[in-house]
Amino acid sequence: MFNSETETLTEVRGDLVLAALCIGQFHAPCQIDPERILVRAQEPLLMALGALGLKIRAVVEEFTPAPLFVPDSELLAQAARHHETRRVRTHVARYHGADPDELEDDLGGEGSAPSAG
């Protein structure tokens, strides 16, 4: 499924749960091992991992990223279905039984002046 040639990766050690949460926010492919996470990381992710106090270093190794749980084709299909069914509804509050002139004043309509208090 994945190509397992060697490549330059970033090894992350430390709080792996924190690291995984951070990596997930960047949607970066990663390989999760018991003592470390290997990740294909770009500069913004490296900065975020460093800011969290995690130990990072460059390594050249084979990479077998964790599989995605949903194929891209299914994600695209779901997005298309939601786009077709999305509706916008607006609700407008109206004053019932109010004089239309008072309503205009309350809403800051033309001719309304601030009251001297």
Question: How high is the pLDDT of residue 97?
Answer: 65
Phi, psi of 103 (to 5 degrees): -60, -45
pLDDT of 83 strictly over 60: no
Strands (E) located in the chain: 6-13, 30-32, 37-39, 55-62
| Per-residue pLDDT band at 100 (split at 50, 70, 90) | low
> What mean pLDDT is predicted for residues 40-64?
94
Span between the terminal Cα atoms of the chain, in Å: 75
Q: How many CA atoms lie within 13 A of 113 on its CB side?
A: 3
| Per-residue pLDDT band at 11 (split at 50, 70, 90) | very high
pTM score: 0.56
> What mean pLDDT is predicted for residues 39-50?
94
pLDDT of 85 strictly over 60: no
| Per-residue pLDDT band at 96 (split at 50, 70, 90) | low
Q: How many CA atoms lie within 13 A of 95 on its CB side?
A: 11
Spell out the domain ranges in the chain: 6-62, 72-98
CA nearest neighbour of 6 among 51, 34, 40 = 40
More confident residue, 114 or 21: 21
pLDDT of 61 strictly over 60: yes
What class does CATH assign to 6-62?
A: alpha beta
